Amino acid sequence: MKRVLVSDSMANEGIDIFRNTPGIEVDVITKHTPEELKELVSGYDGLVVRSSSKITKEIIESAEKLTVIGRAGAGVDNIDVPAASKKGIVVMNTPGGNTVTTGEHAIAMMLSLARKIPQATASMKAGKWEKSRFMGNEYCNKTLGIIGIGRIGTVVADRARGLKMNVLAYDPFISPEAAEKMGITLASLDEIYGSADFISVHTPKNKETTGMINAAAFAKMKKGVFIINCARGGIISEKDLYDALVSGKVAGAALDVFEEEPTKNLDLIALENVICTPHLGASTDEAQTTVAIAIAEQMVDYLLKGEIRYAVNFPSISADLMNAMAPYLALAEKLGKFHAQIISSGIEEVNIEYSGEILKFDVTPLTIALLKGLLTPILNENVNYINAPVIAQERGINVKESKSSAVGDYRSMITLTLKTAKAVTTTAGALFGLRAPRIVRINDFAVDVVPEGHLLMLYNHDKPGVIGNIGTVIGTANINIARMHWSRVQEKQKAMVVFSTDTPLDEEILKKMKETTNVISVHQLDM
């Protein structure tokens, strides 16, 4: 039974999916202190959050069973994703589920801001009729600068064009060609600051964007600019925004998000030219139903079938793709696991070359699978698809991928070259038929090894009698040989034999084998 905790409010349609799925048990507990949440989480396999629960490193580190954190929404800045990745926990969100709703909120905020609708509403509710107090500004032919032209930014741009606004966008990760296809005019930040009448922010909150709109940025803006933030508090410095609003440089600000939530910055929101909502960007029935269903389905699929969709710390693999890639993932993992056991010092560099039909897939998950296989025999800690790249990086292992269109004897091949302080070694793997993994090369030796069970890899001088002598040592120990593959590069030089045995060999027998005439070295591998 997999247990899921929903720690922020979530639409019933999502909770029902958990409730109605055999094998899943769900609890909804939305009122908790951070300490209580830490205690609570430790008993669950899955955790669903929105923006209220802060999932810190401390919570993650103490969450013994947790394998997946689902964000019913877009931003994951309230989750310590690096800490989750290190612990092997998948973090997934529901991109797109609240895009239109949040874009509409930004437009609603912009429209309300320049026409002072919230202030006029409050005045009328207070029994007044202050027609001349609430003079506004028109949008038609004004310039809207959008910072971050992703999903939400694109919706805002589209709706703003309907209002006959000129739209400029800044996003360093969008190519001019992609922008042109979307009908977006890209501009530099300085161009936007210099020409925009309205500026709306739609980036994620991260190291680069935190505080990106600060006093220096306000100084470059047109006097009388309107600012809209429906992305994240802290992308705009609240202190610098306050000063710019008081000085009149900024004519008004519409804020849905705050540096701290619920905000304690009452001085800022008390300003006459600030309108605000309590993080309502995604709060529509439609968006909440969509994101709740999406995250529940994604988490059920992960918890029960291992299918990963929309993970922010792993490439997405649908069930169909997973099925198609499964033999290659198994091959990559086996190759890594095999190679890790034939080296004798720390890995400095991993070079992976993919060739043949395998190139029809995104090879990123294959590299992750290979790293998982490679690190598992070396480390005692649990290595999985999520933490393998993090562990490799932490250990200073340089991972390089390359692709080759050259197809040799195999339809697909993965060639792995490891550089250690002592040597550079190469192995290669291919599929036999459609599914069966094989090791097909060990350094200079062409082989055909089934990477399963207990293997013995032995180098010897290519002289008569070696096989007989080794067979006698293994047979005397009453150990059955299941398979055997012999290979040599050139007659009478070094040769190699790989045995597969039904049971592992103990140290004493291994020692006897190493002492056998003409044997150079013996490695036992556990696959």
Ligand X SMILES: O=C(O)C(=O)COP(=O)(O)O
In sequence order, the 6+-apart residues with CB closer than 8 A to the CB of 490 are: none
Our finding on whether 102 is near ligand NAI (CB under 6 A) is yes
> Which does residue 501 bind out of ligand X, ligand NAI, none, counting CB within 5 to 8 angstroms by kind?
none
Q: Taking Cα atoms as reference points, which of 206, 192, 253, 244 lies closest to residue 223?
A: 244
Catalytic residue check, 523: no
> Which does residue 256 bind out of ligand X, ligand NAI, none, counting CB within 5 to 8 angstroms by kind?
ligand NAI
Site string for ligand NAI, 318-357 (x = CB under 6 A): ----------------------------------------
DSSP 526: E
- Binding ligand NAI (rule: CB under 6 A), the pick from 66, 72, 100, 149 is 149
Question: What number of other Cβ atoms are within 10 A of residue 380's Cβ?
Answer: 7
Site string for ligand NAI, 429-458 (x = CB under 6 A): ------------------------------
486 forms beta bridges with 497
- Binding ligand NAI (rule: CB under 6 A), the pick from 84, 152, 299, 509 is 152
User: By CB under 6 A, what part of segment 41-70 binds ligand X?
Assistant: 50-51
Minimum CB distance to ligand X, residue 37 (Å) = 15
Question: What number of other Cβ atoms are within 10 A of residue 416's Cβ?
Answer: 24
Residue pair 390/377 in contact (Cβ under 8 Å)? The answer is no
Stretch that binds ligand X, among 174-182, 215-223, 274-282, 299-307 (CB under 6 A): 274-282
Angle between helices 99-114 and 117-125 (to 10 degrees): 70
Catalytic residue check, 261: yes
Catalytic residue check, 232: yes
DSSP 204: P
Our finding on whether 74 is near ligand X (CB under 6 A) is yes
Q: How far apart are CA 191 and CA 222, in angstroms?
A: 11
> Which does residue 50 bind out of ligand NAI, ligand X, none, counting CB within 5 to 8 angstroms by kind?
ligand X
Assigned token pair, 435: 């599914």
Our finding on whether 50 is near ligand NAI (CB under 6 A) is no
Stretch that binds ligand NAI, among 59-67, 73-81, 240-248, 348-356 (CB under 6 A): 73-81
> Which does residue 147 bind out of ligand NAI, ligand X, none, counting CB within 5 to 8 angstroms by kind?
ligand NAI
Q: What are phi and psi of 205, to 5 degrees?
A: -90, 120
User: By CB under 6 A, what part of segment 85-114 binds ligand X?
Assistant: 98
525 forms beta bridges with 455
Assigned token pair, 515: 């002492």
> Phi/psi zone of residue 518: left (φ > 0), alpha (ψ -120 to 50 degrees), beta?
left
Stretch that binds ligand X, among 141-149, 277-285, 298-306, 432-440 (CB under 6 A): 277-285
CA 92 to chain centre: 8
Q: Taking Cα atoms as reference points, which of 360, 362, 376 lies closest to residue 308?
A: 362
Our finding on whether 257 is near ligand NAI (CB under 6 A) is yes
Stretch that binds ligand X, among 62-70, 73-81, 113-121, 214-222 (CB under 6 A): 73-81
Minimum CB distance to ligand NAI, residue 298 (Å) = 16
Catalytic residue (one of 151, 159, 279, 438): 279
Sequential DSSP letters for 409-461: SSSEEEEEEEEESS-EEEEEEEEETTTEEEEEEETTEEEEE---SEEEEEEEE
Our finding on whether 75 is near ligand X (CB under 6 A) is yes
Our finding on whether 327 is near ligand X (CB under 6 A) is no
For ligand NAI, how many residues bind (rule: CB under 6 A)? Answer: 33
Residue at shortest CB range from ligand X: 73
> Which does residue 238 bind out of ligand X, ligand NAI, none, counting CB within 5 to 8 angstroms by kind?
none
> Which does residue 170 bind out of ligand NAI, ligand X, none, counting CB within 5 to 8 angstroms by kind?
ligand NAI
Q: Taking Cα atoms as reference points, which of 244, 147, 252, 162 lies closest to residue 203?
A: 147
- Which H helix or E strand runs over 389? helix 388-394
Note the maximum CA span of the chain. Answer: 108
- Binding ligand X (rule: CB under 6 A), the pick from 14, 70, 234, 281 is 281
Our finding on whether 230 is near ligand NAI (CB under 6 A) is yes
Q: What are phi and psi of 364, to 5 degrees?
A: -55, -50
Helix-strand-coil split of the chain, %, nearest 5 = 35, 25, 40
- Which H helix or E strand runs over 336? helix 319-340
> Which does residue 129 bind out of ligand X, ligand NAI, none, counting CB within 5 to 8 angstroms by kind?
none
Q: Which residues bind ligand X (CB under 6 A)?
A: 50-51, 73-75, 98, 279, 281-283
Q: Hey, which residues are catalytic here?
A: 232, 261, 279
Q: Which residues bind ligand NAI (CB under 6 A)?
A: 73-75, 95, 98-99, 102, 147-153, 170-174, 202-205, 208-209, 230-232, 256-257, 279, 281-282
